Amino acid sequence: MRKSSIAVLLLVILGNIGLWAWWNRPVAERSWAGAVAGVGYTPFHPDKSPTRGDKGSPESIEKDIAVLDGNVKGIRIYSTTDGSEHTVPIARRYGIPVTVGAWVQGKPEIDEPEIAGLIKVTRANSNVRRVLVGNEAILRADITVPQAIEYIRRIKKKVNVPVSTAEPWHVWLQHPELVEAADFMAVHLLPYWEGVPVDQAVDYAMFRYNELRAKYPNKHIVISEIGWPADGPWRRGAEATQVNQAKFIRNFLNIAAQNKLDYFIMEAFDQPWKREIEGSAGTSWGLWDANRAPKFPMVGEVLEIRNWPMMCGVSIAMAFLPLVFFLRRRNDLRIGGKIFYGAMIQAVASVLVFTFTAAANQGLAVSTEIAWGVLIFCQLVLLAVMLIDGLELTEVVWQERFRRKFHPCSAAPEPTAPKVSIHVPCYNEPPHMVIQTLDALARLDYPNFEVLLLDNNTKDPEVWKPVEQYCRQLGSKFRFFHLDNWPGYKAGALNFGLQQTAPDAEFVAVIDSDYQVHPDWLKATIPHFARPEVGFVQSPQDYRDWNRDLFQRMTNWEYAGFFHIGMIQRNERNAIIQHGTMTIIRKSAMDAVGHWGEWCITEDAELGLRLFEAGYEAVYMPESYGKGLVPDSFAAYKTQRFRWAYGAVQILKKHWRELLPGAKKLTTGQKYHFITGWLPWFADAAHLIFGMAGVVWSIGLLAFPKYFEFPPNAFMIPTLSVFAFKVAASLWLYEARVRCGFWDKVGAAVAGMALTHTVGRAVWQGLFTSGRPFVRTPKCENQPAFMQALLMAREEIGLMLGLWVAALAVVLVFGHENRDAFMWSGLLVVQSLPYLAALITSLINAFPEMRFGRPGSSTVVEAAD
C-alpha cells in the first residue's frame, strides 16, 4: 500500500479505539469495601429454565455457593421444589445462613408441595434463620390476604424460626392485619419498576422503608429485595444500565451499613430465563452475570461495557482485511474518500460486534433466539445496503479520474458510414406523438440509416393508420409494419424487426415511440464501434416538456439520478444497464448471443447482460441525444417501475449462476453492480414485510405485553441511522452530479421514495411468479381526478394509516413510562414515510395547476466531470 493508505488505515483504527473508549469512559462512583449482607439466589444457569421444568442441580449450586462464599453473609431462596432446596445444606457447610421461601400460587397442587418442602428443609438444617411463604403472591392476586395469613399461622406451628411473606411496601402499608400475623415484614423496594431516576432511587427506597418503620415501629423490617437492573427498558425516569446498577448498589450498601439495615440484594446471578416473564430487565439484576463473573467492581471506576477493549479488538480484526483490500485497490480515490469509506467499514464492523454481543447475552428461549436471528439478518441487509450506497457516494465525490470516459464524436460521417437500422416499437400510442418522433429521425445528420416502425397489436385503425400514411410520406428509409395478434410484447415486435432489417445493416438502434432524437445522435455514437469488442453504445434516457408540471418535474429529476450517477459509476466497471431506448447494438453481437428475450418483460436489460456474458464491452455517454415524455400519472409511473423491478427478478432467476463467485463469464465488477444495483429493490421488498410486521408487533405489545417487548436499541438506533444516511447520501450525490436546485433534489427523493411499495410488490411477485405480461407506460394521458389520485395510492395509504395508528397507540399506552416506546413509534413513522411519499406524489399529480418555474427556465441535466 501507499504511505497515504497506511496512514488512513492507522487513522481509522485509532479513531475506532477512541470512539469505543469515549463511549465506555470510566465513571467514578461511591465505593463499598465490605461484604454484602444477603442476596437473592435462584439456581439456574444460562442453559436452564424452570418454565421448561428444569431443576437446579447440587453440582451447579455447589459451584455457585463457592462463588458467593466470602462475598455475601446470607442467601435467600424462593422455592423448595425447583432444586433450590439443595442450597440449604450446601450453604450450611460454608457457614452461610439461608432464608427459605415457598413459592405459592393459590393452587393446592403447587402450594402444598412447596409448604411441605419448606417445613422439611427448615427442620433439617440449622442454618435456616427465617422462612417466607409466598413471594409477591398477594401483589399478583394469586392469593388473598386472609389466605396469606392462614399460611403464615399454619407454618409457624411447624417451625421454630420467624415466618413471614414477601411483598412490596404498599401491600404492607395497606394491610395492618398481615403485619400483625407475620413475625417480621419482608418488603421489596425496587425503585426501577416504579420509574424513579437512579440518582433519587436510594433516597426513595429509604423513604418507603422509613414510612413502614414509622407506621409499624415494633415490627422488624427485612428488605427482602432491593436492586437495579443492568439492562432493560427505560421506565419513566429509570434507566437500566451497568453504570446505574453499580451506582445504586454501591450507594445502597453504604446507606445500609450506616443504618444497620437487614437486606437481600436482588439478586446474586443474572437469570436469562426471566426474559420469558419479565422482559429484558428481568434478566440482568445480578451482581454476577449469567456466567458467574462479577459485573462491576465494588471499589474504583465502573465501565458500562467492562470487556469493551476485547470487543473493540474484534471489530478491528473484522474490518482489517476489508480495509486493506479497499485501500490497496482504490488508489484512484482522494484521501478524503479513503477516510470516509474506511470509517464506514470500521463502523459497520463495530455495530455488528456490539449487536452480536448483545444477542449472545439474551438467554435461551427459542422465541428469543428466533427474534434475534431475524433482527440480526435484517440489520446485515441494512448495513450491506448502506455500504453499497456509501461506496457509490465515495466514488462520486472523491474519485480523482474516470478510467472509462467516452466523448461524443464530432467529425462528419463519411458517405460510406456503416448502416444503422433504427427500430421504433409502438403500441396504441397517440399518432401525433409518434409522428413527432418520426420527424426527429428524419432530421438525423447521418448518411446511411433506415427506420422500422413496429406497431404491435394496436387494435384501433384510427390510431395506427395515420402513422402508416406518414411513413410513406417520409420516403423509402421509413418502413411501417402493423402486427396483429403478435406474441412476445415489445420483445416480439423487436424480433420481428430484426427479420425485416436490411441485410447490409451493421447496427440496430432502438428508441421508444415518444423520443425525439438529436440530429447528431448517430454521428456522435457510431464511431465508438470502431473497436470490435464494443457490443452496444448507450445514451441516457432524457425527458422534455416536464418543466411546468410539478409531478413530471419530480419524476424527471428522479430519473436523472440513475442516468447521471448510477450509470456513470457502472460504466467505470463496464457494467451498465442496457435500457430499451437510445441504445445501439452491434447486429453481429445480437446474432451471436440470441435476439430479444420474449420471456422477459425487461428484454433490454436482459440482452445487455447476455452481451456482457459473451465478453462484449459497452460504451456509455452521459450526453443527452434524445428526449421522451415522462409518465403523465402516478399510476403510469408505478406501472413502469413495477415492470423494471419484476423484470430484474426474472433476470436474476435465469442468470443467477453467472453472478456467483467463481463464474467466469462476468467480471467481478460486473457481478458487483448487477447484484448491488438490484439489492436496494430487495430491501424495498423487505421494507414491505417490516412495515406489516411492525403493525403486528405493535398489536402484540398492546395486547400481549407479557410475550412482546420493544426491540432493543441495538437494532432500532442503527436502523434509524441507516435511513438518515440514505437520505443524506442521496442529496449529496445529487449535489455532486445532478445540476438542479435544492427543492428539485427533495422532489426527486420524494418521487423515488413513493415507489418503495410498488418495487417491493414487484420483487415479491417476481420471486414467486413468472410470465407476467408486459404493460406499457401510457403517455399523453389526462390528469387524474382527486379521488383517482387517492385510488392510485390506496395500498400505500392503508399501510401508512396502519403504521400511524400503531405508533400513536404505543405512545399513548407506554409513552408515559417507557422511553423505548418513542423510539419504536419513531421507527414506525420512519417506515411510513415511503407510503406518505406515495400519497404526496399522487396528490401532486392530481392538481395540474401546481406549476413550478417559468417558461424556458428548465435546468439542463449534465454529468459532472
pLDDT score for 564: 93
pLDDT score for 777: 57
- Find the angle CA(135)-CA(136)-CA(141) to the nearest 5 degrees: 125
Burial status of residue 461 (CB atoms within 10 A of its CB: 0-12, 13-18, 19 or more): exposed
pLDDT score for 712: 74
Residue by residue, DSSP assigns 752-776 as HHTTHHHHHHHHHHHHH---PPP--
Residues in contact with 687: Cβ distance below 8 Å, sequence separation at least 6, in sequence order: 756, 760, 831, 834
Q: Which helix (H) or strand (E) holds 244?
A: helix 242-259
Work out whether strand 449-456 and strand 516-517 pair parallel, antiparallel, or are unpaired: unpaired
pLDDT along the chain (865 residues), means of 10: 91 96 88 94 90 92 96 97 96 97 96 97 96 96 97 96 98 97 98 94 97 96 97 86 95 96 96 84 93 92 88 96 94 93 96 83 57 77 89 91 88 92 95 96 96 95 95 95 93 96 97 96 96 96 92 95 94 94 97 94 96 97 94 92 95 96 94 93 90 91 82 78 90 92 95 96 92 58 65 92 96 86 92 95 79 39 32
Beta bridge partners of 143: none
pLDDT score for 817: 79
pLDDT score for 860: 35
Strand ranges in 280-359 using DSSP code E only, listed in sequence order: 301-302
Q: Which helix (H) or strand (E) holds 792?
A: helix 786-792
The rounded distance, in Å, linking the Cα atoms of 732 and 481 is: 47
The rounded distance, in Å, linking the Cα atoms of 304 and 551 is: 51
3-state SS assignment for residue 506: strand
Residue among 450, 604, 441 nearest 536 (CA): 604
The rounded distance, in Å, linking the Cα atoms of 537 and 138 is: 80
The rounded distance, in Å, linking the Cα atoms of 233 and 238 is: 9
Nearest 10 degrees: Cα torsion 9, 336, 737, 666: -20
Q: How many helices (H) and strands (E) does the chain have?
A: 29, 19
SS3 sequence of 92-116: HHCCCCEEEEECCCCCHHHHHHHHH
| Count of Cβ atoms closer than 10 Å to residue 565 Cβ | 23
Under 8 Å between Cβ of 636 and 556: no
- Find the angle CA(457)-CA(463)-CA(469) to the nearest 5 degrees: 105
- For 454, what's the count of Cα atoms within 13 Å in the CB-facing half-sphere? 25
pLDDT score for 362: 58
Under 8 Å between Cβ of 132 and 91: no
The rounded distance, in Å, linking the Cα atoms of 595 and 610 is: 10
Q: Which domains are seen in the chain, by residue range? A: 3-21+307-398 (no CATH), 29-299 (3.20.20.80), 420-551+576-631 (3.90.550.10)
The rounded distance, in Å, linking the Cα atoms of 37 and 94 is: 15
The rounded distance, in Å, linking the Cα atoms of 57 and 43 is: 8
Residue by residue, DSSP assigns 139-186 as TTTSS-HHHHHHHHHHHHTT-SS-EEEEEEHHHHHH-HHHHHHSSSEE
Phi, psi of 505 (to 5 degrees): -75, 125
Phi, psi of 475 (to 5 degrees): 105, -175
